[in-house]
Amino acid sequence: MAEPLTHEWIEALAEAAHGCFVAEGINLMLEYQVADGPTWHLAVADGTVQVQFGPAETPDVSFHTQRATALAMADGSLDPLKAVIDGDLILRGDPRTLVTAKNLLEDLGNLLASG
């Protein structure tokens, strides 16, 4: 597996997402920005999932953090909720979107982690 937060890692996420289908009618745009690293986004629309480099045009929720925090979350040593509570992970947008899509996000997380 590619080193997290590298160009190759985001390409691997995009490859794992390619061909992944979800229920029709679910539309979600999540943006990830690492202050001293990459920016990418995950789009769920029309029953498909895509991961792309760069910022999202209109994200439902965006996540902003530093490299050390992102790496700790990627390797599982930091709970994202703790990072939010401690102010190390900043959410912008409507967090209710994440609650509504909780099962989808868990499924995608498992798929992308195994990809």
Position 99 confidence tier, pLDDT thresholds 50, 70, 90: confident
State if pTM tops 0.85. yes
Taken in order 39, 20, 93, 87, the sign of the CA dihedral is negative
Q: What is the pLDDT of residues 52-75, one digit of tens each?
A: 999 999 999 999 999 999 999 988
Q: What pLDDT was estimated at residue 21?
A: 76
Say which CATH architecture domain 7-101 belongs to: 2-Layer Sandwich (3.30)
> What is the pLDDT, as a whole number, of residue 22?
77
Domain locations in the chain as residue ranges? 7-101
43 vs 55: CA distance, rounded Å: 11
Would you state the structure tokens that stand for residue 68, as one six-digit string?
A: 């050390």
> In this predicted structure, what is the pLDDT of residue 112?
58
